[in-house]
Amino acid sequence: MEQIEEVKQKTDIVQIVGERVELKKAGRYFKGLCPFHGEKTPSFVVSPELQIFKCFGCGAGGDVISFLQEFEKMTFPEALATLADKAGVILKKSFKGADPKKQRLLQINHDLARFYAAYLKKHPKGEVARAYLKERGVTVKTIEEFSLGMAPAESGLTARYLKKERGYDEGDLIATGSFGKGSWGKKELYDRFRERVIFPLFDHRGQVLGFSGRVLPGSQKEQGKYINSPETELYHKGRHVFGLWQSREGIKKKGGVVVVEGELDFLSLWQAGIKNVVAIKGTAFTREQLELLGRFGKNLSLFLDSDAAGGRATMQSLSLAEELGMEVGIVEMKGYKDPDEAMRAEPKLVKKRIESPLPVGDWLIKTATKGSQINTAAGQKRVMRMVLPWLSRQENAAVAEKYGKKLASSLGVSPLVIEEELEKLRGEGESLKTEAQGGEIEKESQVEKYLLELVIMGKGKKIDWKEVLGLLRSRRLKRLGEELEKLKSVKKVTGILEKLPAELGPLYEELYLKAGEQVEESWEKEFEKTVKRLKELRVRAKIQEAVRIISRAEGESNKKEIKEWQEKMGKWSSELLSLKR
């Protein structure tokens, strides 16, 4: 436990988080877009004083170790070891090590990647792969940069090397997903990637999780052109993208990422100087992949193949990307089947299109109207089915109006028709909002929390603790208020946290971080206004109760009770008026 605290004390959470999330100073803490959920307005804060992070949007929060665990998908020992290494702390043996099996599999993949790379570079039989990559325009520098390799045609060679020369267990080799076991003859292990160009699949931390293999020209293969590692303990296709390890800094620098489908598309763009590119290895985009990319940049430029599958993939990605708070653009190069072919033919134009991608609305209307008989009711219906769901999600009124008019113009109908169809699509969603959701009715608990935030911010100012505690009805808030009164002489926030009961610590941290948003110069006015607001809510609740009781008493013709509660209601109404002055 002492070593954990030593690592945390020697680590600056702002630095660690700031290396992964763009943070800006905001008073006594730092603020940015949450990396754990999609948002356009920053609600993620990091406190250098408390050495914690908190998102008020999704609720994520914790210390620097838990941040690394969540952001990098590390285990506790892995996160601790990473921070210890950075802080220069030598950990005791008991703290070291992630899952031993996972570490063995990672080491096998590392050695296997080196074997494939050496075979491509040095072995005479690697010439066929070297010639193929040269013909595809892949340079020697790129081959080395991405550790490209070749799997031998002899299916058992790789496994024999790893067993005899490296001493690996057969079961572990199978567990990597790169090897299978024959069901006849010698029943020896065979290499799933035999006679293919190999692309190691790195995660965003530089670990080899698996491999992708591309069939070589002239090879007779029953399997597809590309095969990937199967789902294993290390590799999950839907959670990773090709090239992120190499592109992560370029994506951060640009604030966005260009997405292509295949490895050769990626390499073609990379060699042309596009350093913020990744490949999704197919057309299906998953939430996990988008969330991963969103940690490094919020702008997404889709440069997928120009076939029908590429178009469908683009359509499917839009709502998910927007839901995660990403800005999406489309890179189009008509007349070319994929980005690699386009880049080889017109590199300058490709770069220009990447720099200024087509806005989603323009691409969507263009794609939907192409091939549709827009002069028929059926054709117009098809176009609206494609465009209206996207249009209905636009929060910016100017954008919605612009593309609503553009759609109407494309279809030759009045903009009112589009508005009517949008209303139908939205259905009864708007009418289901309650008065409370409209913001007219404030929850007392929210105002009570705000009052305590002001108390925390106003440390050192004159506070009527009796009045404050008398206004708090929430048991947890009242208990925290009572503890804060006892600790009013403690100056440091960390000192208060040390002395607070453990169960109240998280609540105090949350209120402390929120309190940083208040304007200190207006504290007295804000405090007075909040006390009044809370008192007003209390009186309103009494008046509502009186109305309910009077209504019941009238039904029972109970004159005595009616008179009693009318007097009370009159008194509370006067009290309410005085509070509003």
Rounded-to-integer distance, Cα 245 and Cα 469, Å: 53
DSSP conformational letter for 48: T
Count of C-beta atoms within a 10 Å radius of residue 447: 16
Long-range CB contacts (within 8 A, 24+) of 460-469 = 461/523, 461/524, 463/488, 467/531, 468/531
Lowest mean pLDDT among 227-241, 400-414, 419-433, 505-519: 419-433
Q: What CATH class has 366-428? A: mainly alpha
Digit-coded pLDDT (tens) for 481-539: 899 888 888 878 888 888 888 888 888 888 888 776 555 457 788 888 888 888 888 88
Mean pLDDT of 334-346: 92
Q: What CATH class has 252-356? A: alpha beta
Percent of the chain with pLDDT over 90: 34
Question: Cβ neighbours of residue 549 under 8 Å, at least 6 residues apart?
Answer: 561, 565
Digit-coded pLDDT (tens) for 510-519: 888 877 655 5
Give the model's pLDDT for residue 302: 92
The burial of 355, by beta-carbon neighbours within 10 Å (0-12 exposed, 13-18 middle, 19 or more buried), is given as: exposed
The pLDDT of residue 272 is above 80: yes
Amino acid in position 418: I
- Which numeric CATH code is attached to 100-235? 3.90.980.10
Mean pLDDT of 349-363: 94
Digit-coded pLDDT (tens) for 167-207: 999 999 999 999 998 766 567 899 999 999 999 999 988 89
Contact 55, 34 (CB under 8 A): yes
Digit-coded pLDDT (tens) for 34-86: 988 878 788 899 998 888 999 988 888 899 999 999 888 888 888 888 898 88
Fold of 2-95: DNA Primase; Chain A (3.90.580)
The pLDDT of residue 143 is above 90: yes
pTM tops 0.75: no
Rounded-to-integer distance, Cα 67 and Cα 76, Å: 10
222 vs 148, more confident: 148
Mean pLDDT of 436-446: 51
User: Three-class SS of residue 268?
Assistant: helix
